[in-house]
Chains A and B, each alone.
Chain A
């Protein structure tokens, strides 16, 4: 048998299994701790390299090390929004229950990362730029992203009927995706106080490998943290949404 075909079949079947709330609940019980461990391992190693091994920057000295929290948090704030928008679109088109769950559970995590990016940016700006906050294009668009996440959460809880809430929220999340390229290119399209892109730019990263490696490790670790939180939240939401279904009732009966 063709190995690629069997791998593809495996992925295809797993995806379909994850689409069912019950199967998701079973599979995520194993995946969640794995994500948690990967997060701990990668970010501990990344933080060690970033704080102790990476050399100090020639002009910012040791204060540049906040980059190892600020930049992964900012990347994640955008990445989570894209995941949320894609899941919302899948939910709207295929009326898939789990897609709405993924989208809604991503919103508070994304909002937390956006807040972290703004807060660490502020802490970084105070000594280096000489200001906590300036209304430049990058800072302002990132703040709008925080409002967008808040709007998605607020809209969901504004409806009594779950289906209406899911669809309305998903529509807002899909439409809001236009903010993502605006944030990314804000430092190119307009003059700003914020620096341009260091890593994702033409001509490769403007940073030596011993500074870049911890950054990438932290970013990967943060991504697993997102997965870990997402699975936890999604498991709770699945139980809540499916509280009247037989498998949840059976599980509760077994506990009692």
Chain B
């Protein structure tokens, strides 16, 4: 490498490092905005404001799914195995919705921490399993919280 080439390499290295550092700080500054959802524990830990929209994700708690008297509103509890939030949603639930499934729901919380959701999305994880093993997997997923000692990730 000739001296000019070395100089060019150094300049490029410096510019890329500079941009990387700038990107790092920019992303750090927007950390809270880039987060897609909050967990029930984060909602309980922080002060939530009634009437403000939040996106909360959690597993649908075992045995918590019911339909209200009007026949079209679903009520269920989402949990991270430590804290939970009760959600009411009027509309069609995603196909993957079931006990133990991770769900992201968007909506406003009332003063009693009850969420009136305007959107419910299913969030699947990174595991792919053949259908033959489905029963065992479904059971494992539905009872994730039974053995959990702290908040779980999903």
Contacts and interface: CB of A to CB of B under 8 A. Distances in A.
B149 to A, nearest CB: 20
Interface of A: 55-61, 64, 67, 89, 92-94, 127-131, 134, 136-137, 171, 174-175, 177-178, 182, 189-193, 195-198, 201, 206-208, 210-211
Given A93-B9, A178-B19, A56 B36 contact: no
Which of B15, B122, B133 gathers the greatest number of chain A CB atoms within 10 Å? B122
Contacts of A137: 34, 36
Interface stretch (B43-51, B66-74, B124-132): B124-132
A60 B12 contact: no
A190 B138 contact: no
A174 B12 contact: yes
B91 to A, nearest CB: 10
B98 to A, nearest CB: 9
> Is the contact region of chain B dominated by helix, strand, or loop, or is it mixed?
mixed
A189 to B, nearest CB: 8
Contacts, number: 113
A171 B31 CA distance: 28
B35 A191 contact: yes
Contacts of A211: 128, 130
Contacts of B121: 129-131, 134, 193
A192 B35 CA distance: 7
A137 B137 CA distance: 28
A195 B124 contact: yes
Q: Assign chain B's interface to a size class.
A: 35 or more
Nearest to A94: B5
Interface of B: 5, 8-9, 12, 15-16, 19-20, 23, 27, 31, 34-39, 57, 94-96, 101, 104, 119-134, 137-138
Given A129-B121, A174-B12, A198 B126 contact: yes
B11 to A, nearest CB: 9
A130 B128 contact: no
27 contacts: A56-B130, A57-B128, A57-B131, A58-B130, A58-B131, A59-B124, A59-B134, A60-B124, A93-B9, A94-B5, A128-B95, A128-B122, A128-B124, A130-B95, A130-B121, A137-B36, A174-B12, A175-B16, A178-B23, A190-B34, A190-B35, A191-B37, A195-B123, A206-B127, A206-B128, A208-B128, A208-B129
